Amino acid sequence: MSQQQWDAVDDYFAETLIGHDPALEAATAAADEAGLPHIAVAPNQGKLLHLLALTQGARRILEVGTLGGYSAIWLARALPADGTLITLEIDPKHAGVARQNLERAGLGKVAEVRLGPAADSLAALEADGVEPFDLVFIDADKPSNPEYFARALKLTRPGSLIIVDNVVRGGAVADRDSADLSVIGTRRLHDLIAAEPRVSATSVQTVGAKGYDGFTLARVQG
């Protein structure tokens, strides 16, 4: 199997099960025009986030790592009219593109992009005593994943879902001797989850348009 084969399969599923979506296509085009890195979730992965949020009955969603707002659109579309999505982004340029994309998609009233280091934004949310989030999607700098997860856990409730993307690292996550900071952060994340009695979790390997990677899904137990 090859990347070309994975791309073809993802294209088939996207064309068959998702189809033409002007708002998402415009968001991708705007991100490309602005020179943002090509690291947003694939369409079928975005649809998975959407379906998980719908299944969860999510009213409040937190995203760590906005980029151009592609995944935020998928998540925000799962919210009821009085729902809330807060997405955290450190880069002003990325945040600007995301705000425009969310507005264009008609989601400006339910989605808020907060600018600043995610750890600081998460701490501020906790200090403000915000209502717990029903679903958290973490897709930011990987060395900080343990901190993001620990802080996100404080902002959830029993029954909430926490999803962490890009945890396989092309298989490098299995290398306990890796010097890659992203791998080290990812392994520390899973050590933290394994020792945390308040969550039940699993990780799934994936292949597709984004290569060989995967995600971790954790349910808050109490």
Per-position DSSP letters for 82-101, written without gaps between them? T-EEEEEES-HHHHHHHHHH
Q: What are phi and psi for residue 60, nearest 5 degrees? A: -130, 125
- Token output for 122: 């998460």
133 exposed, middle or buried (CB, 10 Å; 0-12, 13-18, 19+)?
A: buried
So what's the pLDDT on residue 66?
98
CATH of domain 3-220: 3.40.50.150
Q: What is the pLDDT of residue 222?
A: 75
Residue with tokens 């899904």: 217
Reference 66, options 19, 34, 44; nearest CA is 34
Q: What is the pLDDT along the chain (222 residues), one digit of tens a residue?
A: 799 999 999 999 999 999 999 999 999 999 999 999 999 999 999 999 999 999 999 999 999 999 999 999 999 999 999 999 999 999 999 999 999 999 999 999 999 999 999 999 999 999 999 999 999 999 999 999 999 999 999 999 999 999 999 999 999 999 999 999 999 999 999 999 999 999 999 999 999 999 999 999 999 997
Distances (CA, A) of 18 to 25, 42, 140: 12, 11, 25
Please name the residues in contact with 64: beta carbons below 8 A apart, sequence gap of 6 or more. 87, 88, 118, 122, 136, 137, 138, 139, 140, 148, 152
pLDDT at 1: 75
For the chain, give every domain's residue range.
3-220
The pTM score is: 0.97
Angstrom distance (rounded) from CA 217 to CA 213: 14
Say which amino acid occupies 10: D
